[in-house]
Structure 1
Amino acid sequence: MGNIGAERFLPAEISLPALRDAARCCEGCDLYRNATQTVFGDGAPDARYMLVGEQPGDQEDHQGAPFVGPAGRMLDKALEEAGIDRETVYVTNAVKHFKFEPRGKRRIHQKPTAAEIDACRPWLNAEMLLVDPAVTLVLGATAARALLGPSFLVTRHRGEPIPRREGAYYVATIHPSAILRAPDRDTAYAGFLADLKVAATLA
């Protein structure tokens, strides 16, 4: 089928519960075929902070909730240390289905393509519109592509407040899963925490 895009699957009534229900039936790209389920955003509907990651991982795909795996635990730890109350946060992903390659009994994460990111963007746009956070934390290159365009480089602009609208900002940083893969986890974590602390001062 290819990537027809999520637009036609959006509900007539745009609310977070209606979006979550409608997203369960999304076939806007081919990723729905192999994923267990759609993993939609979760958290406070009037959140001051919105965190946008790449896509669900293996555990998120099974549990149906974002950031519940090892990267989620890393994120929770950093949020607490940065002074960001988890109750004031809405978490979601640029792509709502798990993309993977089977390897034996394991499912190895694969990076979404530009077409898959674009196909899924209507869900993210609707979430941004409804939550309208003061600060949007952009976690990694896939989220940055979805929200800030293909020419944006996280490595060059991480930790910088980027105006989204008057009184609201984006702050880009690495994805917490990158800390888990880093040769020097302590240094990677310190940089991530520093970016989160920038975000904490903006809200």
Structure 2
Amino acid sequence: MNDYAGAEKWVPHDGGMRKVRAVLGDCRGCDLWEDAEQAVAGEGPVRARMMLVGETPGDHEDKEGHVFVGPAGHLLDKALVAAGIERSEIYLTNAVKHFRFEREGKRRIHKTPSAGQIVACAPWLRRELEIVKPELVVVMGAVAARTLLGPSFRVTQHRGERVELADGRAAVATVHPSAVVRSQEFRRDFDRFVKDLRGAAALLD
């Protein structure tokens, strides 16, 4: 695991989300900033009751500077509608704020962040949690689960269950929507993803 400086020295510990977004692009806590177009901040109401945490920006997000605007984002939008959740009422973010990729010709292919990069970026997510104070966090995918629930947590073993973060906050883990996009059994896996989201929303009722 690379010994990265970590994001802590760049994360503001006063001020709100506007300040976080203003300085996020200055972060040099790991090496992902070197190749990415930009850091991608979270979006949504600062007092959202529900926060959805994905893994990392993809190619579209890196180019556009917004979360969940690529194929996985479009699928997430459809799943939220099916689950009765308004995207405008939730806070969406990623555990890692820069796109990690490898090139295949002109294409940029997503590559999972290393353990060191995940740890280095975690202070940004912790600060978002402090500011938003969501009642429930939906943890989507292994990178988000590693950040919020620890390296031993397995989404496959606890998917859809109510679990708790280290601070006692309620959470539900599920797959990342990109896994559904790639699925060979799309309808089954889309329906199961919607079921997870619907179950998470029910915890707020």
Task: Give the alignment's TM-score, normalised by structure 1.
Answer: 0.96
Aligned pair count reads: 202
| Structure 2 counterpart SS, 1:43 | coil
Q: Distance in 2 between matches of 1:73 and 1:48?
A: 22
Instruction: Indicate the SS of the match to 2:29.
Output: coil
Instruction: Answer yes or no: is 1:107 the counterpart of 2:108.
Output: yes
Matches of residues 86-97 of structure 1 in structure 2 within 5 Å? 86-97=87-98
Percent of residue pairs identical: 50
The residue type equivalent to 2:16 in the other structure is S
d(CA) in 2 for partners of 1:65 and 1:26?
Answer: 17
Deviations 1:110-148 (A, max 9, x none): 000111000000000000111111110100000000000
How far residue 14 of structure 1 moved from its aligned partner, in angstroms, is 3.5
Cα displacement string for residues 65-89 of structure 1 (whole angstroms, at most 9, x for unaligned residues): 1101110010011111111111210
Q: How does 1:11-26 map to 2 (within 5 A)?
A: 11-26=12-27
4+ runs deviating over 4 angstroms:
none
Name the stretch that deviates more: 9-18 or 107-116: 9-18
The CA deviation string for residues 38-74 of structure 1, in whole angstroms up to 9 with x for no partner, is 0011111011110100000000000001101110010
Q: Which moved more, 1:119-128 or 1:82-91?
A: 82-91
1 CA distance for matches of 2:15 and 2:158? 33
- Alignment-derived partner of residue 141 in structure 2: 140
SS at match of 2:93: strand
Distance apart, 1:12 and its partner CA: 4.7
SS in 2 for 1:107: strand
For the aligned residues, what is the CA RMSD?
1.3
Query: Matched residues in 1 for 2:105 and 2:164: separation?
Result: 45
Letter in 2 for 1:121: A
Q: Does 1:130 align with 2:120?
A: no
1:63 aligns to 2:36 (yes or no): no
C-alpha displacement at 1:13, in angstroms?
2.4
The change in CA–CA distance for 1:2 and 1:163 in structure 2 (over 3 A counts) is: closer
- Asked if 1:31 corresponds to 2:32, the answer is yes
Name the CA distance, whole Å, in 1 between partners of 2:146 and 2:162. Answer: 17
Aligned 8 A contact 2:3 2:116 in 1: no
* Kept after mapping to 1: 8 A contact 2:36/2:98: yes
SS at match of 1:42: coil
Shift in Å, 1:2: 5.7
Letter of the 2:162 counterpart: P
Specify the SS of the correspondent of 2:14.
coil
Cα distance between partner residues in 2 of 1:108 and 1:2: 25
TM-score, length of structure 2 as denominator length: 0.95
C-alpha distance in 2 between matches for 1:60 and 1:2: 27
- 2-structure distance, mates of 1:111, 1:10: 23
Aligned-pair CA distance for 1:11: 2.2
